[in-house]
Amino acid sequence: MIRRLIPFVLLVIILAGCSKNDGDWDPMKWKATSSVKEEKGNYIVEASGATLTFTCKNYPNPWLDGARINNTDYVYPDQNGGDFRNLKGPWFTAHIQGSNLEIVIAENKTSMARAFLLHVTAGDIFHTFSIVQKAP
């Protein structure tokens, strides 16, 4: 009799430990605090470069997860040093302090447009900024 009850008891314990809100995080809400042009989900930056600033409205301390450059290369924060607030790419940097994000894009001296996806997280929720820089 007890052997038959063990699976049932285990199921009850597992289900009781789960909340209906587990994994149900609200999307991150970001507001641009600098002038930036947005087209079809991409932030457009002139070839001369720019500093973009954003504030997260619903999570107090997000951090940087990494960036994908031109759909081929990846860069990550200094994970060994534990610094998830700063990220340095080959032609851009990103920094988060509190809920404020600053992205600095250097002048594009190449002959082509370039792009990167910046991934930001606050635990189980993620947001991606798509940045496209025009060619000179």
pLDDT for residue 2 is more than 70: no
77-133 pLDDT, tens per residue? 987 788 999 999 999 999 999 999 999 999 999 999 999 999 999 999 999 999 999
15-58 pLDDT, tens per residue? 444 444 556 789 999 999 999 999 999 999 999 999 999 999 99
Helix (H) or strand (E) holding 94, with range, is: strand 92-97
- pTM as predicted: 0.81
